[in-house]
Amino acid sequence: MKKYFFSSIFLFLLLPSIVGAVELTTSIPSGSQYVPGRSYSFHINCDDINNIADVIFEWNSNNYTQYTTPAVQNSGSVYWIDLIDLGVGDYSYRWIVNNTSDILTFSDTYSIIINSSTAITLTLDGIEGSNNFELNEIADFVAKLNIPGKLIKLESTHPDFSTQYNISIIEYSVNLTSSGIFTVTASWSGDENYTSSSITYYFDMGPPKFSNEETSPRTRFGYVPNTEYKFQINCEDADLVDVWFESNHTGKMKNYYSTSNTSVQNSSGVFWIILKDLKPRKFSYKWHAKDGSDDESSTNFINYEVLKMNPLVMDVLPSTNIREGTQITASCYSINSIQVPASKFKFYKNSDLIENISSSTRMDIFLLSVGKYNFTCNTSGTANYTNQSIIKTITVSSAPPEDEEIIRELKIKNINFPSVEVGEGGEASFNLVNDMLKNIFDIKIDLAGVPPEWYSITQPSSIYGGVTKEVKINFNIPSNAEPKIYSITISVSGNTSDGITIVVSENLDMLITGPIQNMPPSLFEGSINTDIAGSEVMFLLDWSDDFGLSGYIFSSNNSGVWENDSWVPLTGKSGWINITKILNSSVGSIVAWKIYANDTSNEWSISDEYAVEVTALGFDMSFIVIVFIIVIVIVVLIFILKRIKIRGRRKTKDEEEIEYVYSEEDFESEEKT
C-alpha cells in the first residue's frame, strides 16, 4: 500500500515497561485545510512487540482492526491505518493495545480540519483586473472556479448584462451599448468543505465619473475659529490615475493634489480635502480627475460661503411673569473672548452701563420694582464678527397674594415620532418646555427602547425659564432591524443654578415597518411518469416560496454526463416545475436529476438528487393472462375434434335407412364400409 508522509506532529507518551516506549504520529498536521481525496496515515510504534496480542484503532467511536476496511497494518513494531478523504470536522482517536497481561490505551485528538479556501478567477477580455471598453464593443467575460462540479454566478451592473449561472466555468460575451462605469462580479457560495469565493472588477466606457459631492459643514456656515471644513466627492473609473481639488478660498485659484501639503485623500473611491480655519468670505471650488487613457473630467464650479457670526448672547432671567421682589440676573457675553472681549461691547439697563465685567461677560443681579426695563447689549464688530445690538424688555408686576400657588415644571410636549421603514432614515421631534422660574443647565436627553446606534439627538445644553426649545431626533434604521412596534421612553434631566436636579419623562410607541425576512424556495418530492428506455418522460417537482419564484435550472445526466439546462423564468408563489425529455435509451442505466431554484429575493435552493433505472418496454399482466387462457382453449378444442366420431345418414331406394359410421381411418382411405 502506498504511504504519504508530510510534515508531522509527534506526540509522545511514556508507557509501562511491558510494552516499552510508544510514539504516536500522523502524516498530516492537525488544522490542515480540506483536500479532496487526501490520505491521512495514523501510526503507533511499540518497542516491545513480543507481548502484543492485538492492536485496535478507535476513530470517533468506530473500531478498526486488521480484518476491517480500512484495516490496521503493521511492519515490525510500527502499526498504522490510512483514512481517505476526511471532511471538515473535529475528530478524536485512540490506539488500544492488547498485550498478554493487560490492555493499554493510548489516546490523542486530531484537531479540526478547516475549510479550504477556493479561488475564483475573472477575466475581462483576457485581463484579470479592471478594464476599459469602447462603446458598442463586444466584451468577453470568463469566470472559473478552481474546483469542479460547483455552481458559480456571473453578474454585472451593466444594463446589457444578464446574470449567468453554470458549473465551474462561465464564458459570456455581450455587446456593451451603454456608457458609464460598471462592476462585474464572479462568485460561489461555498459548501461544507470549501469557503465561499467572490471577485469584483470595474470596467468603464468613458472619462472618470463624479457623484455625491458634499461638504461638512454645509455652505453659509457661521465662522467658528479653528473649524475643519471637509469637501468630499465620489469618483469612479476602472483605471483612475489622479483626482485633485481646485479652489480660490485663499484669494486666488490653486490646485491641491495628493502630494500637496494640504492634500487630497481617498478611500474606496471617496476623495476629500480638509481646509482649516476658513475666514468669512465667498469662494468657488471644483474637482478634477484623469484616468489611464488621459481622459479628464471636471465638475462645475461650486460656491461656498463662510458667514460672519453674531458675537454676543444676552440673557435676562427670568424674562417673563416677573413679580416684584424676584431676583433678576442680567448678563451679556461674547462667544469669542479673544476676538470680541468684554471690553469691546457695552451692556445697559435702560441707560445705566453695567460695569461688572470679566474677560467675555458683563453681568449683574437686580431686585427691581414694578415697571418696564430695557436691557441693551451692542458691539461694532470685527473682521470675523458682525456689528450687533440686542435689546430685551422685561416687565415687573405686583407680587401675587400669599395664598396663590403657582405650579411650574419642565415638560415634554408636542411629541412627533412618525413610522420609519427598515433600512431608511427619518426625523422625530418634541418640544421641551421650561415653565419654571429657574434656568436649567447640563441637559441630557436619552431614548430607552431602541439601540443608541439607531439615532442621534440634536439637543440643547441649557434652557432658560419660560423658554420652549424644539428637540430633533434623526433615526437611521438598519436593514436587519425587526419590523414591529417599539415602546420608547424619552428621559430629560438637568440641573438648576442652585444645584437641584430636574427629571421628566414620557412614554410612546414607535412603528418600524418593513418586510419579514425572506426564506429560500421550498422544493418538495420529485417524480417522473415513466422509466421506459427511449420514451418521452416528464420530470416533475412541487415547489413554493413566500415571495415568489424567479426561475430554475434543470440538471441531469440523461445524456450520459451531468449537464445544466438553460435558465427558465418562472413566476408565482407555488406550483409544479415540469421538464419533458426523451429518456436515455440504454436499458439498465441510472438517470439522476435535480433542480436549482431561485426566488425574487435572490435566495437559492437545490433539490434532492433523484434517480431512476431505465427499463425495457413491457406488457400489461392482465393482457398476458387473457392471451394464455385463449391459447389453452384452442388447444383443447383441436384435441376434442380429432377424437370425436362423425356420423352420417343415407336412404336406400326402398327407403331403408342405413347408417354409415366413419372412423378416423375412413378419412385416410377411399374404401368405405
What does the pLDDT look like over 102-115, one tens digit per residue?
A: 667 676 666 657 67
Over 90: is that where the pLDDT of 169 sits?
yes
Distance, in Å, from the CA atom of 462 to the CA atom of 494, rounded to the nearest integer, reads: 8
Place of cell 407555488: 574
Distance, in Å, from the CA atom of 227 to the CA atom of 235, rounded to the nearest integer, reads: 26
Q: Can you tell me the mean pLDDT for 238-246?
A: 90
Q: What is the pLDDT of residue 418?
A: 86
Give CA separation, 566 vs 21, 164, 237, 272, 579, in Å: 63, 10, 34, 47, 12
Q: What is the pLDDT of residues 277-286, one digit of tens each?
A: 899 999 999 9
For the beta carbon of residue 229, count every other beta carbon within 10 angstroms: 18
Q: What is the pLDDT of residue 621?
A: 56
Fold for the domain defined by 312-397: Immunoglobulin-like (2.60.40)
* C-alpha cell of residue 21: 516506549
Q: What is the pLDDT of residue 11?
A: 30
DSSP E strands in 100-252: the ranges are: 103-113, 120-124, 131-132, 137-145, 151-156, 164-167, 169-176, 181-188, 197-204, 209-216, 221-222, 228-236, 240-247
Fold for the domain defined by 209-307: Immunoglobulin-like (2.60.40)
Cβ–Cβ under 8 Å, residues 345 and 334: yes
Q: What is the pLDDT of residues 123-132, one digit of tens each?
A: 988 888 888 7
| DSSP track, 494-545 | EEETTS-EEEEEEEEEEEEE-PPPP-PPEEEEEEES--BTTSEEEEEEEEE-
Residue 211: exposed, middle, or buried by beta-carbon count in 10 A (0-12, 13-18, 19+)?
exposed
Phi and psi angles of residue 77, each rounded to the nearest 5 degrees, phi first = -85, -5
CATH class name, domain 410-513: mainly beta
Integer-rounded Cα Rg, in Å, for the chain is 47
Q: Can you tell me the mean pLDDT for 412-424?
A: 86
Does the fold of domain 522-613 match that of domain 312-397?
A: yes
Amino acid at 470: E
Q: Is 529 left (phi over 0), alpha (psi -120 to 50) or beta?
A: alpha
Distance, in Å, from the CA atom of 450 to the CA atom of 133, rounded to the nearest integer, reads: 49
Distance, in Å, from the CA atom of 316 to the CA atom of 375, rounded to the nearest integer, reads: 8
Amino acid at 393: T
3-state SS, one letter per residue, for 559-589: CCCCEECCCEECCCCEEEEEEEEECCCCCCC
Q: Can you tell me the mean pLDDT for 654-671?
A: 48
Peptide bond between residue 217 and the one before it cis (omega within 30 degrees of 0): yes
Distance, in Å, from the CA atom of 299 to the CA atom of 215, rounded to the nearest integer, reads: 14
Mean pLDDT lowest among 306-320, 546-560, 632-646: 632-646
Q: On the CB side of 525, how many CA atoms lie within 13 Å of its CA?
A: 2
Residue 344, helix vs strand vs coil = helix
In CATH, 9-113 is 2.60.40.10: yes
Residues whose CB falls within 8 Å of the CB of residue 96, separated by 6 or more in sequence, listed in order? 55, 56, 57, 58, 63, 103, 104, 105
Residue 298: exposed, middle, or buried by beta-carbon count in 10 A (0-12, 13-18, 19+)?
middle
Q: What is the pLDDT of residue 161?
A: 93
Q: What is the pLDDT of residues 57-90, one digit of tens each?
A: 988 888 999 999 999 998 888 889 999 988 888 8
Distance, in Å, from the CA atom of 354 to the CA atom of 658, rounded to the nearest integer, reads: 173
Q: What is the pLDDT of residue 667?
A: 46
Cβ–Cβ under 8 Å, residues 545 and 573: yes
Cβ–Cβ under 8 Å, residues 395 and 328: no
Q: What is the pLDDT of residue 110?
A: 65
Q: Burial letters for 135-167: b for 16+ Cβ neighbours within 10 Å, e otherwise?
A: eeeebebbbebebeebbbbbbbebeebeebbbb
Q: What are the sequence ranges of the domains in the chain?
A: 9-113, 120-204, 209-307, 312-397, 410-513, 522-613, 627-673
Place of cell 456656515: 221
- Which of the four pLDDT bands, split at 50, 70 and 90, describes residue 22? low
Element (H, E) at 20: none
Distance, in Å, from the CA atom of 202 to the CA atom of 192, rounded to the nearest integer, reads: 31
Q: What is the pLDDT of residue 430?
A: 92
Residues whose CB falls within 8 Å of the CB of residue 139, separated by 6 or more in sequence, listed in order? 124, 125, 133, 173, 174, 176, 203
Cβ–Cβ under 8 Å, residues 151 and 596: yes
Q: Which of 528 and 514 is assigned the larger pLDDT?
A: 528
Q: What is the mean pLDDT of the chain?
A: 83
- Which of the four pLDDT bands, split at 50, 70 and 90, describes residue 2? very low
Q: What is the pLDDT of residues 534-568, one digit of tens each?
A: 899 999 988 887 767 889 999 999 988 999 999 99
Phi and psi angles of residue 198, each rounded to the nearest 5 degrees, phi first = -155, 145
Place of cell 476623495: 271
| Domain at 120-204: CATH code | 2.60.40
Over 60: is that where the pLDDT of 663 sits?
no
Cβ–Cβ under 8 Å, residues 366 and 349: yes
Phi and psi angles of residue 568, each rounded to the nearest 5 degrees, phi first = -120, 115
Distance, in Å, from the CA atom of 401 to the CA atom of 323, rounded to the nearest integer, reads: 11
Q: 120-124 and 169-176 as β-strands: parallel, antiparallel, unpaired?
A: unpaired
Over 70: is that where the pLDDT of 291 sits?
yes
Cβ–Cβ under 8 Å, residues 603 and 518: yes
Over 50: is that where the pLDDT of 5 sits?
no
Residue 641, helix vs strand vs coil = helix
Q: Which of 321 and 557 is assigned the larger pLDDT?
A: 557
* C-alpha cell of residue 286: 471644483
* C-alpha cell of residue 91: 475528530
Ranges 249-258, 288-297, 664-673, most confident: 249-258
Distance, in Å, from the CA atom of 423 to the CA atom of 475, rounded to the nearest integer, reads: 10
Q: What is the pLDDT of residue 131?
A: 81
| Cα 629 to the center of its chain, rounded Å | 71
Distance, in Å, from the CA atom of 242 to the CA atom of 240, rounded to the nearest integer, reads: 6
3-state SS, one letter per residue, for 250-269: CCCCEEECCCCCCCCEEECC
Ranges 10-14, 66-70, 364-368, most confident: 66-70
CA dihedral 287, 288, 292, 293 (to 10 degrees): 130
Over 50: is that where the pLDDT of 651 sits?
no
Q: Which of 72, 69, 75, 62 is nearest to 97 (CA)?
A: 72
| Domain at 522-613: CATH code | 2.60.40.1930
- Which of the four pLDDT bands, split at 50, 70 and 90, describes residue 400? low
Q: Can you tell me the mean pLDDT for 433-453?
A: 86
Place of cell 428506455: 533
